Amino acid sequence: QVQLVESGGGLVQAGGSLRLSCAASGRTFSSVALGWFRQAPGKEREFVAAIRWSGGTTYYTESVKGRFTISRDNAKNTVYLQMNSLKPEDTAVYYCAASRSYYSGSVYYADAYAYWGQGTQVTVSS
């Protein structure tokens, strides 16, 4: 089992910044990647970014490239999502997720992830 705890959400004006954190505990050694997803009201959950624990390869959805940065601290088992130049359309509940054990497929899809955090609300006002 892997436990994930997100923090760092809040209310910010358009153009502002927030940093989300996701602290992982439990059997994290078998998880190859950690991702961030978001879900806005009335919309499906969508991929935002992901990072591999080993090597640190990163992945982003097109709409956040150049604005969001995902990073990790392996010693702390924590992954961060730095969000800059926020837009109202970034408003959503943000979830972190840990991949299935020894997963070798694409990290862009929700099916890749077996463990999910409780979510943290990000609201961007115009």
**Res 102: pLDDT:** 84
d(CA 47, CA 122): 15
Which residue's entry shows tokens 């959950």? 45
**Res 26: pLDDT:** 86
**Res 104: pLDDT:** 84
Per-residue pLDDT of the chain in tens (126 residues, 90 and over written 9): 889 999 999 999 999 999 999 999 987 777 789 999 999 999 999 999 999 988 889 999 999 999 999 999 988 999 999 999 999 999 999 999 999 888 888 999 999 999 999 999 999 999
d(CA 72, CA 4): 14
Q: Residues 6 or more apart from 111 whose CB is under 8 A from it?
A: none
E strands present in the chain: 2-7, 10-13, 18-26, 33-39, 46-52, 58-60, 68-73, 78-83, 92-99, 113-116, 120-125
d(CA 30, CA 46): 24
